[in-house]
Structure 1
Amino acid sequence: MGNGDTRVRGIAARAGGWSARHRWAAVGIWVLFVVLATGIGTAVGRVDVKGSDEIKGETYSAPKIIEDAGIKEPAGETVLIQAKDGGITATDPQFRTAVTAVIQAVEDTGQVTAVTSPYDTKTISKDGRSALVQFGVSGDADTAGERVEPILKAVAGVQKEHPQLRIGEIGTASMQKTFSDAFGDDFKQAELFAVPVALGILLIAFGALVAALLPVALAVTAIIATMGLMSIVSHIQPMNDTANSMMLLVGLAVGVDYCLFYLRREREERAAGRDPETALRIAAATSGHAVIVSGVTVCVAMAGMLFTGIATFEAMGLASLMVVAVAMVGSVTVLPAMMSLLGKRVETGRLPFLHPEKRRARTARSADEGSRLWEAILKVVLAKPAVSLVVAAGVLLAIAAPALGMKTQNLTLDQEFGDTVPIVATYKQVNEAFPGGPEPAQVVVKAKDINAPEVQSALADFRAQAVSSGASRGPVDVKLHDAQNVAVISVPLVGGSDLDKAGKNLELLRDKIRPDTLGKVDGVQAPITGQVAGSHDFNEKLVGSVAPVFAFVVVFAFLLMLLSFRSLTIAITSIVLNLLSVGAAYGILVAVFQHGWGASLVGAHGVGAIVTWLPLFLFVILFGLSMDYHVFVVSRIREARMRGRTTKEAITHGVVTTAGVVTSAAVIMVAVFAIFGTLSMQSMKQMGVGLSAAVLIDATVIRGVLLPAVMALLGERNWYLPKWLDRMPDFTHDESPQEPAPAVRDKSEPLGV
């Protein structure tokens, strides 16, 4: 092995060694980095993704026309006044009194503009029992949700005065507020529970307070630093709350995991009789190396999201990538320094009821209850590897089967929240009385002269055909901006909250009505946007980006596995097993949230679809995170093989010795992800359940049954590397200077925790 080879292979060991020798410097640099990142990030502020920048295409060009023309379109709001029984209609005096009261109440807030009466705009339902008061919220539409509270209170006040009527508000600003409040509350709840849950599991795993606090401290400081970095980077790549939530989720999971790998190995080596310095060096060379390989793989997987061309995905990918990189660097630098500083004091705060002394008396064998279980399972798996492979793979394929019928869409308000927020009832009532009314399609028409006879004629034709074709039941509203030569047409689409039906009517507008009317006038642009159009275009963009993202992630993960283990076989099996794990997660998602099978068990309900962004996001996240366990387990198997054990003995040794740490890491990940499954928003529930199920499958069926079965069947072919690949760089780690362990273990053999 030449100098260059040593340089590549010893990076984790050398980083850990330097940090252990320069303990205070390493800790000081880390603290300074966290403080500087947070301080600079706070000072520059965060730039958020604009709705108009989310995706290219019509849903991008429509708001861009309005923005470029300097038109400040207010956030539109609607108040529904509806008779509770058939006796009252919009022409009755008490109904008119309620309409007047609503108009007066919203105007009195001083926060509204262009209030219209249903008697002027003819926004009265066909049965005469429902009417709409429409207006805009003053100020910037993007922040209207922050200013709509007084208007909502004013409308609620009118409702109290007219109990015989239903009076409720819906619109862009009120929906913004609903999502913002729910997301904020959910995020706070996740923050509130995630860290204590992780700490509690680590306390059980380590039996000592300081040892349990170290991983949490590193994960939390990595998250804090990344929040600052996100603000800095947002001036180049805008961020948002979703990216923040993903970053917290991923940061806590990988930050704790990486520390857990490192700490457990160092503990094991000390328990085996090595001095603290040697134990730390071995942990750096082995677990430290596994952390770097895993971290780089996760970062590469996250980078796949940058190829989607969707702003929210790019933000989530970059935020997740940054937190993983920060946690990885912290794990191989400041963690060894802290462990060196603490020494045996890492065992401070022992919890007597967890019997730490009893554990130490067992010389930190991994044959505790969990590992005994895995030993028993492995005995069966390795005795009949072919049968084990067929059964386990068959079960996972059966679980994955529902994914073949997966349907994705942006969730509507009622799908996202069910009946948990009052605004949903108003949303449904408006949709029933005025299909598509809460979220109409918007046609932004740009012409050289908006008042030219041919343009006005085309606008009238479009308006008439939108209703006569059945795409809309009206009212189709045209708002002219003469000075800017722009017109905005609002078209409530028949289908309303049923995005399939509304989507067909959107296509009718785009593919037939628009070309037959506005499309016949030279120089006229007429992109169509809105909630239905946004969901449709988002889905199409995402479907188009699936192949390049999948290809990028799979190819780079394959190359990293090939370089890290110098085995073509291991690289191929890693990819196949990970794809099986992701497929099973997809199957569970579709079964629970699309079909509603067992949805009540997770406090959810079948909504007939999976939120559009989730499948690709899950693929990227899971492909990255599952490498954590895979790299850690296979590294240990390879280590045992390099010390002279047979492949079968190495498999047993590798899986049993890592069972404790993989179980602890998986329990933490599942617990943290499961918190998101308890939140109020359906999309967060889907994400939490999908991630939890996948990690659980990955750490049990994949690592405990399929991986050993496949490796046992392959035997020495596990280490196959074609001669022509022998010249590639060597990223394998330096094995610890340990004598080959006996091939057969008796009950007193130390294997490490």
Structure 2
Amino acid sequence: MTNLPVRMARWSAGHPWRGIASWFLFVALCLGIGMSVGGHAATTEDYRIGEAGRAEAMAAEGGLQQKPVEHVLVTGTGTAAGAAAKDAAARMKRLPEVESVSAPIRAKDGTALRVDVTLKGSELQGKDHVEPLLAQTADVQKAHPDVKVEETGSPSISKGVGELRDDDLARTEVIALPITLLTLLLVFGSFAVAVVPVVLALTSIAAAIGLSMLASHVFPDAGVGASIILLIGMAVGVDYTLFYLKREREERARSGGRLNARATVEIAAATSGRSVVVSGLAVAVSSATLYLADDVIFSSIATAAILVTLVAVVSSLTVLPAVLAKLGGWAERRAARRGRVQKAPRTGNGRITKAMLRPTGKHPAATLAVAVLAMLALAAPLLNLNLTDMGRDSHPRQIPAMQVYDRLNTAFPELKSMHQIVVKADAGQAGEVTAALRDLAARAGQDPLLAGTSELRTSPDQRIHLLELAVPHHVSTDEARRSLDRVRGEYVPQTVGKLHAETAVSGDIARYADYPEHQKSKLPFIVGALLLVTFAMTVWAFRSVVLGLLGVALNLLSAGAALGLLTLVFQGTWAEGLLDFTSTGSIGSRVPLFLFVILFGLSMDYQVFVISRIREAARRGVPTRQAVLDGVGGSASVVTSAAFVMVTVFASFVFIHIMELKQMGFALAVAVLLDAAVIRIMILPALMLLLGDRCWWPSRSMRPARDDAAGPALQNVG
């Protein structure tokens, strides 16, 4: 592990232009191959989960699967509204993207009409074919200015969500990039050096996007891959480069001109280079536990995080040494021309770090108790955590189709949601199944929780039957959930449940309810695997069981505190104006799992970097107490700078309008901030000070390191 970064750095620093050219060629190849092959988007089948998914598979077997449907809403009365609705229906029928068009349907209060337009293709493909329908709706509005003509539906809403997400992501780049550059400029005092981490992060992102297109043919892309690559790529790309670059500059200045640029690069590779490899592998392996969720969205997140992290590691081990060798060579020549020797950088603590470390060094037990209690207090709101699927109703109303969606549901409340009861039986039982489903519809028609309207369809081979019940409540309401419980727990068992047939219930509400339950069932396995991976990676990196246990406990503490703050902020309404959101009273069901996995991986960055510094000092014979204080203090500026960059990138996602992405960005920003400021500067050193040499158990002593890594570098003393 130590020799690999050194060998790669030695070649790259010895052939800098080849190394730089090879990297950009690699990026171009990744993008070119990815674009030529193209990505593979997840299909409707990939999203099927739980009983709802089983029902959808049965319906699809009989050709009764849910289709993409658009609704043209005509608001107005009299002949003008009727004429506009008929015109819309006639225009839609002529479009090749349209499968069927309903006759105009009038609202019960007579203030509006609607035309239902079913598109060809699968449910997820609707957004790709909806543009001609929207154009026709706009033409109908121009032709009938006396009434209001609008369009909404799953395809147009999905299209609007995608456009808003793309605009938001572009804005996050505008926010994050300048702040990142300014931070790096303050850290290094050189614009040329500050640009290096940003350029490498951006090229790593580009390469990862190309590779993700290839990977999508194995792990279908659920549409979140690009967002995760941008989110994680900027963070780890800048961080890994920062760790490496800071160490190289430190060693170069400390040598006082006795080591040339290639030698300092090799020393940095043997120290920070190793930390980058371990950290990157930790993020990748931690992210891989998301595959255990058996969910296409989490598979996409895992694939994106793994690819961009590994690419960022490769960039910091290959092209970065080449760039540093060139920059170092130029700096040496400038210093020689001016007759100056480079000054050694400050390696001591900054004022803030010194102030935070002072009570830790003097009173580690008290510091530990106060810090842990504070973190537990932040985690307390977790006791009231409410997880729900962030469905269509949670989408921001900045999307025009969502505004029309609200008006459509006001005029036609029976469209808010629905249940689908699917029955699979032998064709000879068709009569019995039909009778039982009609009985179910009659019972449901008397239920105040349901809309009283239903539709029964049967497959051509008479084997699959589908009964659709309208529900006048949004999927997120208690009434909708109670109606699902009643259908599954009473109406189905009392009717079709008595037949020898396979029965399942799907629909908007069932999808909304089943997804969080699926996640809850997978959570223990994933968290267990995550804890095991974190423990194993730490033990492998530092040969210490104690540090492995500490890593697990501290990651749990920071994740719990971040989730507690997330619950406090987003389940309430007090921060709505501050963060520009409308509270759903819940947290997205994917957010906690995403936070746990990604945070456990990213926390290893700081864990590995800080403990590596401590371990270096301890192996040189420095007493553990002093090694802890020196290691934490010496790495504080890098950790603080890296954390600030990460927090900036993650916090920029808080300005995104999509609720789950907003919550993910907030949670990660808070988690990284707490991890860097509280865990790594207060709790970790306090624990290590209290444990002393026991930190390194089962190693009996910290023997000085062999000079096998830095030795080759020292041979290049100039």
Taking structure 1 as the reference length, what is the TM-score of the superposition? 0.86
Change (3 A) 1:196 1:474: farther
Aligned mates of 1:165, 1:412 — CA distance in 2: 31
Residue 522 in 1 paired to residue 500 in 2? Answer: yes
Q: Report the counterpart of residue 247 of structure 1 in structure 2.
A: 229
Aligned mates of 2:302, 2:333 — CA distance in 1: 38
Q: Which amino acid aligns with 2:280?
A: G
Which ranges in structure 1 are unaligned for 5 or more consecutive residues? 1-7, 351-356, 739-753
Q: Which amino acid aligns with 1:458?
A: A
More displaced 10-residue stretch of structure 1: 426-435 or 453-462 = 426-435
After TM superposition, give the deviation of residue 670 of structure 1 in Å. Answer: 0.9
Residue 393 in 1 paired to residue 372 in 2? Answer: yes
After TM superposition, give the deviation of residue 361 of structure 1 in Å. Answer: 7.5
Name the SS of the counterpart of 2:70 in structure 1.
Answer: strand
Change (3 A) 1:443 1:360: farther
- Out of 183, 188, 192, the position equivalent to 1:206 is 188
Q: Is the 8 A contact 2:475 2:508 kept in 1?
A: no
Aligned mates of 2:218, 2:462 — CA distance in 1: 30
Q: Is the 8 A contact 2:430 2:463 kept in 1?
A: no
Change (3 A) 1:163 1:462: farther
Q: Is the 8 A contact 2:161 2:399 kept in 1?
A: no
- Out of 611, 615, 622, the position equivalent to 1:634 is 611
Q: Report the counterpart of residue 353 of structure 1 in structure 2.
A: none
Q: Is the 8 A contact 1:62 1:444 kept in 2?
A: yes
Task: Output aligned runs, 1:598-613, within 5 Å.
Answer: 598-613=575-590
Name the SS of the counterpart of 2:415 in structure 1.
Answer: coil
Q: Report the counterpart of residue 642 of structure 2 in structure 1.
A: 665
**Corresponding pairs, count:** 705
Aligned mates of 1:733, 1:384 — CA distance in 2: 36
Aligned mates of 1:552, 1:183 — CA distance in 2: 32
Q: Is the 8 A contact 2:64 2:466 kept in 1?
A: no
Aligned mates of 1:114, 1:474 — CA distance in 2: 25
Aligned mates of 2:332, 2:111 — CA distance in 1: 72
- Out of 342, 345, 366, the position equivalent to 1:364 is 345
Residue 329 in 1 paired to residue 314 in 2? Answer: yes
- Out of 425, 429, 437, the position equivalent to 2:403 is 425
After TM superposition, give the deviation of residue 305 of structure 1 in Å. Answer: 0.1
Name the SS of the counterpart of 2:263 in structure 1.
Answer: helix
Task: Output aligned runs, 1:28-39, within 5 Å.
Answer: 28-39=21-32
- Out of 43, 49, 67, the position equivalent to 2:42 is 49
Q: Report the counterpart of residue 228 of structure 1 in structure 2.
A: 210
Q: Is the 8 A contact 1:450 1:482 kept in 2?
A: no
Change (3 A) 1:414 1:172: closer
Q: Report the counterpart of residue 64 of structure 1 in structure 2.
A: 57
Aligned mates of 1:115, 1:360 — CA distance in 2: 80
- Out of 315, 319, 326, the position equivalent to 1:341 is 326
After TM superposition, give the deviation of residue 549 of structure 1 in Å. Answer: 0.7
Aligned mates of 1:690, 1:733 — CA distance in 2: 42
Q: Report the counterpart of residue 270 of structure 2 in structure 1.
A: 285
Q: Report the counterpart of residue 716 of structure 2 in structure 1.
A: none
Q: Report the counterpart of residue 598 of structure 2 in structure 1.
A: 621
Q: Is the 8 A contact 1:262 1:284 kept in 2?
A: yes
Q: Report the counterpart of residue 660 of structure 2 in structure 1.
A: 683
Name the SS of the counterpart of 2:382 in structure 1.
Answer: helix
Aligned mates of 2:345, 2:377 — CA distance in 1: 39
Aligned mates of 2:668, 2:341 — CA distance in 1: 34
Task: Output aligned runs, 1:354-753, within 5 Å.
Answer: 363-367=344-348, 371-417=350-396, 419-435=397-413, 437-449=415-427, 452-483=430-461, 485-523=463-501, 525-721=502-698
Q: Is the 8 A contact 1:42 1:228 kept in 2?
A: yes
Change (3 A) 1:687 1:408: same
After TM superposition, give the deviation of residue 432 of structure 1 in Å. Answer: 4.2
CA RMSD of aligned residues (A): 3.2
More displaced 10-residue stretch of structure 1: 714-723 or 557-566 = 714-723
Aligned mates of 1:55, 1:360 — CA distance in 2: 66
Aligned mates of 2:402, 2:79 — CA distance in 1: 28
After TM superposition, give the deviation of residue 321 of structure 1 in Å. Answer: 1.0
Q: Which amino acid aligns with 2:55?
A: A
Offset from partner CA, 1:309-354 (integer Å, 9 cap, x none): 111101211221121112112212222133223324379999xxxx
Change (3 A) 1:442 1:175: farther
Q: Which amino acid aligns with 2:297?
A: T
Which ranges in structure 2 are unaligned for 5 or more consecutive residues? 713-718
Aligned mates of 1:567, 1:721 — CA distance in 2: 6
Residue 186 in 1 paired to residue 171 in 2? Answer: no
Offset from partner CA, 1:426-454 (integer Å, 9 cap, x none): 33344445445144233344443389322
Change (3 A) 1:177 1:436: farther
Aligned mates of 1:55, 1:624 — CA distance in 2: 29
After TM superposition, give the deviation of residue 691 of structure 1 in Å. Answer: 1.0
Name the SS of the counterpart of 1:554 in structure 2.
Answer: helix
Change (3 A) 1:478 1:656: same
After TM superposition, give the deviation of residue 586 of structure 1 in Å. Answer: 0.2
More displaced 10-residue stretch of structure 1: 580-589 or 378-387 = 378-387
Offset from partner CA, 1:200-255 (integer Å, 9 cap, x none): 32222222222122222222222222222212122121123212211221112111
Aligned mates of 1:415, 1:249 — CA distance in 2: 22
Change (3 A) 1:349 1:172: farther
- Out of 234, 238, 247, the position equivalent to 1:265 is 247
Q: Is the 8 A contact 1:209 1:348 kept in 2?
A: no
Q: Which amino acid aligns with 1:117?
A: A
Name the SS of the counterpart of 2:327 in structure 1.
Answer: helix
Q: Which amino acid aligns with 2:392?
A: L
After TM superposition, give the deviation of residue 672 of structure 1 in Å. Answer: 0.9
Aligned mates of 1:154, 1:443 — CA distance in 2: 34
Q: Is the 8 A contact 1:170 1:423 kept in 2?
A: yes
Offset from partner CA, 1:672-704 (integer Å, 9 cap, x none): 111111112122211111111111111111111
Name the SS of the counterpart of 1:527 in structure 2.
Answer: strand
Offset from partner CA, 1:386-436 (integer Å, 9 cap, x none): 22112211111111111121111122334231x322333333344445445
Aligned mates of 1:228, 1:153 — CA distance in 2: 33
Change (3 A) 1:662 1:450: farther
After TM superposition, give the deviation of residue 645 of structure 1 in Å. Answer: 2.3
Name the SS of the counterpart of 2:116 in structure 1.
Answer: strand
Q: Report the counterpart of residue 715 of structure 2 in structure 1.
A: none
More displaced 10-residue stretch of structure 1: 323-332 or 595-604 = 595-604
- Out of 288, 296, 305, the position equivalent to 1:311 is 296
After TM superposition, give the deviation of residue 663 of structure 1 in Å. Answer: 1.4
Q: Which amino acid aligns with 2:698?
A: L
Aligned mates of 1:496, 1:71 — CA distance in 2: 23
Q: Is the 8 A contact 2:14 2:262 kept in 1?
A: no
After TM superposition, give the deviation of residue 165 of structure 1 in Å. Answer: 6.2
More displaced 10-residue stretch of structure 1: 290-299 or 489-498 = 489-498
Name the SS of the counterpart of 2:35 in structure 1.
Answer: helix
Q: Which amino acid aligns with 1:79?
A: V
Name the SS of the counterpart of 1:411 in structure 2.
Answer: coil
Task: Output aligned runs, 1:116-195, within 5 Å.
Answer: 116-117=102-103, 124-125=107-108, 127-129=109-111, 131-156=113-138, 158=140, 167-195=149-177
After TM superposition, give the deviation of residue 634 of structure 1 in Å. Answer: 1.1
Change (3 A) 1:549 1:452: closer
More displaced 10-residue stretch of structure 1: 682-691 or 202-211 = 202-211
Q: Is the 8 A contact 2:446 2:452 kept in 1?
A: no
More displaced 10-residue stretch of structure 1: 471-480 or 609-618 = 471-480
- Out of 320, 326, 336, the position equivalent to 2:305 is 320
Q: Is the 8 A contact 1:662 1:699 kept in 2?
A: yes
Q: Is the 8 A contact 1:19 1:334 kept in 2?
A: yes
Offset from partner CA, 1:155-182 (integer Å, 9 cap, x none): 4555677788665433221222122222
Change (3 A) 1:168 1:462: farther
Aligned mates of 1:651, 1:683 — CA distance in 2: 39
Aligned mates of 2:446, 2:57 — CA distance in 1: 30
